[in-house]
Amino acid sequence: MTRSEELFARARSVIPGGVDSPVRAFGSVGGTPIFYRRGEGAYVIDVDGRRYVDLVQSWGALLFGHARPEIVRAAASAAAEGTSFGAPTEREVELAETIVAALPSVEMVRLVSSGTEATMSAIRLARGATGRDLVLRFDGCYHGHVDGLLAGSGSGVATFGIPGSPGVTAGAAHDTVTAPYNDPEAARAAFERHEGRLAAVIVEPVAANMGVVPPAPGFLEHLRQLCTASGTLLLFDEVITGFRIGYGGAQTRFGVTPDLTTLGKVMGGGFPCAAFGGRADLMERLAPVGPIYQAGTLSGNPVAVAAGLAALDLARRLDPYPELERVATTLEDGLRAGFAANGIPATIGRAGSMFSVFFTERQVRDFAGAKDADHARYARFFHHLLAEGIALPPSGYELWSLCTEHRDDEVAQLLEAVRSFAG
Ligand code: PMP
């Protein structure tokens, strides 16, 4: 028995499924989840002492790899000065200023502790500000485990094929309208059907929870037009793309301006720190200025904020994005060539340092396409790579994330492992 197997057995008797978040359980790829002891740069080391190139990077949260010294030092020194005050601090203001300066559409921002909290709060704000109830979302996108946003979700909901979740009230489900991603006609039809009733459209500007599916040309612009024409707020969920696809997020890359934005992952430097922000006139509808309530004991937590500031400082000073793009392109080209050489149909979805492999020869534009890929083959691929010392996400519906510490050596190791994958 490995130490991971031992720990998993113990975990299962006190934690449902042995994990604190479902996809970690290896449910769709089979086998025992690997328990990690530590991480360094591009690598993680498990409790049995095995070392893996890590392409999960805490589900995209780590842009600079594990235990980046600047981030660790910033968090440690902040912790030594007090781990939580429940009162405002200078660094919170600095982090808010940094976010506002980075994202063109964000004039004001509020810090929270998770992406779920960010989307939940932004949706409440959108409803409160518009006086409307309905939210349009897209199949295969994931916005956290907010009641009204689960139907048709990607990530773990897709991995486990959960149609909806018990515990979500009919009312909450009723207030959610869904449409296929990258289908402008379906979005238009939803606006028509619910004319004057849509508070917000929430979308991942690059879908990354059904595997990576970039927006089709014009799709985001079309959503912007529909929203503007009908007084609906456009909410970009940039929890993954923010500070990962580029310093200014997907909104800068695609030149489309949302009304509201949610952030998480990279902006917290690997700590529980997230945010929602947008137009000042909307944000000032929040308490204590306005009547829309939102709060948090640990919001703007000083340790998380110090780590987030350190991460964003690195992102601004080092501008890692061109090099990430170069490494990602090498990997993408190599993967394509490697699968082709072995006669394995595969499509790569990629945007910047975010990507995923779909085992299908068809282009993947939406959730139906992502589901149509061969997920049993993904499971075999996952275990083949794991045996070669490479940790991929344990689901074909999740993104692979590069960090700045993935260099040509790690790419070469991965491509070598692809060459020996028979299918
Ligand atoms: N939005 C998106 C786009 C996400 O990918 C995620 C999590 N993967 C969330 C929201 C929820 O964030 P969290 O897990 O921090 O609650």
**241 CA: nearest ligand 1 atom:** 3
Q: Closest Cα to residue 405, out of 104, 12, 31, 62?
A: 62
Closest protein CA for atom 10 of ligand 1:
143
The secondary structure element, H or E, covering residue 233 is strand 233-237
Mutate to test the pocket of ligand 1, among 142, 204, 401 (most ligand atoms within 8 A of CB): 142
41, 95, 142, 144, 184 from 119: Cα distances, Å: 30, 19, 10, 7, 23
∠200-249-117 over CA atoms, to 5°? 50
pLDDT of residue 157: 75
Q: Whose CA is nearest to atom 12 of ligand 1?
A: 115
pLDDT of residue 163: 62
Q: What backbone phi and psi angles, to 5 degrees, belong to 114?
A: -150, 160
- The helix/strand/coil state of 312 is helix
- pLDDT, residue 389, reads 98
Element (H, E) at 411: helix 408-419
Q: What residues line ligand 1, using a CB cutoff of 6 Å?
A: 59, 114-116, 119, 142-144, 155, 204, 209, 237, 239-240, 264, 274
CB 15 within 8 A of CB 27: no
Ligand 1 centroid–CA 237 distance in Å is: 9
What is the distance in A from the centroid of ligand 1 to the CA of 340? Answer: 33
Looking at residue 154, its pLDDT comes to 77
CA atoms within 13 A on the CB side of 208: 29
Instruction: Give CA angle at 56 (332, 162), nearest 5°.
Output: 105
Predicted pLDDT at 155: 79
How many A from CA of 101 to the centre of ligand 1? 23
Q: Contact, 55 vs 391, CB < 8 A? A: yes
The pLDDT, as a whole number, for residue 22 is 93
Q: Give, in order, the Cα–Cα distances in Å from 236 to each of 190, 254, 419.
A: 18, 12, 38
Q: What is the pLDDT along the chain (423 residues), one digit of tens a residue?
A: 999 999 999 999 999 999 999 999 999 999 999 999 999 999 999 999 999 999 999 999 999 999 999 999 999 999 999 999 999 999 999 999 999 999 999 999 999 999 999 999 999 999 999 999 999 999 999 999 999 888 777 777 777 776 677 888 888 888 999 999 999 999 999 999 999 999 999 999 999 999 999 999 999 999 999 999 999 999 999 999 999 999 999 999 999 999 999 999 999 999 999 999 999 999 999 999 999 999 999 999 999 999 999 999 999 999 999 999 999 999 999 999 999 999 999 999 999 999 999 999 999 999 999 999 999 999 999 999 999 999 999 999 999 999 999 999 999 999 999 999 999
The whole-chain average pLDDT of the chain stands at 96
- Written as one string, the DSSP assignment of 49-63 is S-EEEESSHHHHT-S
Active site residues: 142, 237, 265
Do the Cβ atoms of 248 and 242 come closer than 8 Å? no
